[in-house]
Amino acid sequence: MDYPIQVLIVGKNEAIVLLLKRLVNCFEGLQAKEAFCEQSAFDVVKCGEPRLIIISSGLSEETENRIKENALVKNQDIKIITHFGGGSGLLKSEICEVLGKSFELKTAV
Amino acid sequence: MAKTVLHKANTRGVANHGWLKSFHTFSFAGYYNPERIQFGALRVLNDDTVSGGMGFGEHPHDNMEIISIPLEGDLEHKDSMGNTAVIRKGDIQVMSAGTGIYHSEYNKNKGEQVKFLQIWVFPNKRNVTPRYDQITLNEADRKNKLQQILSPNEADEGVWIHQDAWFHMGNFDKDVAASYSVRKPGNGVYVFVLKGQFMVNGIDLDQRDGLGLSDLEQFDLQALTGDTEILLMEIPMK
């Protein structure tokens, strides 16, 4: 896997998305971008190479599904996390779960 | 045949930040154990002790049913919906974080610690409108019996959440027994001993041990010591 792993965080609650971005960027080997709407998410997927998408809060179920489907059309190996909790509580577990045992998530010093 | 999973108290994750000591039954924050992620919809069971006057500054939550149960001391809560409240032993607080909420939690007293459980349950629907509630329970109603403190139904006893979950607490004298019948077929029950020792479904449990039970309709519990306290959390397994 190429490093850093590009991560897209998408959600309507901007403050929470930006907090998640800051938290993700604290992990070694991860680099996050944000999107606050469906079209912005499509643009990031189209132009960038996100390997991991974190679905944050405030999006409709239909929008969440379109973002997931669009991403998988672009790259069927893309990992998608439907995030719960809104902060650091579950984030590390969620990322470790999808990236698998080969990826050891360390906080950057 | 019932399935069981036993989490002894001393196998929990620990975070010691000086002002905060937290035991994590399931993976949380910097503690990650792939064998300890969740029990059904029960995702977080944190057993927190906060030093006098200290606490959690403003921070966000979303898409989670967050239940706080104070065990000792006074915990002051403020949130972005305009709620300011103090919860203490005998109270239960619930937040449906939904689309997003900011809140802070501080130990209101400078001279004594506060101990509380923070429990996170996955909601049955994402992006609900955030809500907050707290109630004071009549602790006498749990003497030698199980008292319902949470359910999915607004009109039912205790607080309610967006999930088919039922929580009960009980204080039992030595040798007093009770039984619990699962409210919704398919649900599991996570048993957490707050004080004393119990036998639950034939398994001995010490203080702060956790026991997950699933694929059963009913089970028995019995206090093995005096002045005991137990929390039962029935939650969906799928």
Strands lying side by side in the sheet with A52-55: A30-35, A5-10, A52-55, A79-82
Q: What is the identity of the amino acid at B166?
A: W
Mean pLDDT calculated for residue range B214-219:
98
In which residue are the tokens 């009109």 written?
Answer: B155
Mean pLDDT calculated for residue range B116-129:
97
Q: A84 and B64: CB-CB below 8 Å? A: yes
pLDDT at B154 over 60: yes
B residues 152..181 contacting A (CB < 8 A): none
Chain B interface disruption, residue of A10, A90, A96, most B CBs within 10 A: A90
pTM for this model (two decimals): 0.95
A residues 49..108 contacting B (CB < 8 A): 56-61, 64, 82-90, 92-93, 96-97, 101, 105, 107
pLDDT score for B1? 86
pLDDT at A8 over 60: yes
Domains of chain B: which residue ranges?
13-136, 139-236
pLDDT confidence of A101, banded at 50, 70, 90? low
pLDDT at A1 over 70: no
CA of B122 vs chain A CAs: smallest distance (Å): 8
Q: What are phi and psi of B13, to 5 degrees?
A: -70, 150
Stated as kind and residue range, the H or E segment containing B6 is strand B3-7
Average pLDDT taken over every residue of chain B: 97
For A14-54, the pLDDT digits (tens) are 999 999 999 999 999 999 999 999 999 999 999 888 999 99
pLDDT score for A3? 77
Which residues in chain B touch residue A87, judged by CB atoms under 8 angstroms apart? 59-61
Mean pLDDT calculated for residue range B93-110:
96
pLDDT at B104 over 90: yes
Identity of the residue in A16, A96, A105 whose CB atom sits nearest the CB atom of B62: A16
pLDDT score for B117? 98
Q: At what angle do helices A14-25 and A88-99 cross, to 10 degrees?
A: 60
pLDDT score for B65? 98
Q: Centre a 10 Å sphere on the Cβ of residue B155 and count the other Cβ atoms it contains.
A: 6
Please state the ipTM of this predicted complex. 0.91
Q: B99 and A57: CB-CB below 8 Å? A: yes
First to last CA, chain B: 18
In which residue are the tokens 């007293």 written?
Answer: B109
For B200-212, the pLDDT digits (tens) are 999 999 999 999 9
A residues 5..44 contacting B (CB < 8 A): 12-13, 15-16, 19
Q: What DSSP string runs through B28-82? A: BTTB--TT-S-BTTEEEEEEEEE-TT-EEEEEEE-S-EEEEEEEESEEEEEETTS
Domain B13-136 shares a fold with domain B139-236:
yes
Q: B127 and A57: CB-CB below 8 Å? A: yes
> What percentage of chain B reaches a pLDDT higher than 90?
99
| Domain B13-136: top CATH class | mainly beta
CA of A52 vs chain B CAs: smallest distance (Å): 19
Mean pLDDT calculated for residue range A94-105:
81
Q: What is the identity of the amino acid at B169?
A: M
pLDDT confidence of B120, banded at 50, 70, 90? very high
For A56-91, the pLDDT digits (tens) are 999 999 999 999 999 999 999 999 999 999 989 999
Contact B18, B50 (CB under 8 A): no
pLDDT score for B197? 98
pLDDT score for A105? 76
H/E/C letters for each residue in chain A? Answer: CCCCEEEEEECCCHHHHHHHHHHHHCECCEEEEEECCHHHHHHHHHHCCCCEEEECCCCCHHHHHHHHHHHHHHCCCCEEEECCCCCHHHHHHHHHHHHCCCCCCCECC
Q: At what angle do helices A61-74 and A38-47 cross, to 10 degrees?
A: 10
Which are the contacts of B82, defined by CB distance < 8 A and separation ≥ 6? none
Q: What is the identity of the amino acid at A58?
A: G
Output DSSP code: residue B130.
P
Q: What are phi and psi of B199, to 5 degrees?
A: -110, 125
pLDDT score for A109? 55
For B132-148, the pLDDT digits (tens) are 999 999 999 999 999 99
Which residues in chain A touch residue B67, judged by CB atoms under 8 angstroms apart? none
Q: How many residues in chain B?
A: 238
Q: What angle do CA B124, B127, B131 make, to 5 degrees?
A: 90
Taking the C-alpha atoms of residue B118 and residue B142, their distance in angstroms, rounded to an integer, is 20
Bond before B34 cis per omega within 30 degrees: no
| Domain B139-236: top CATH class | mainly beta
In which residue are the tokens 């606050």 written?
Answer: A36
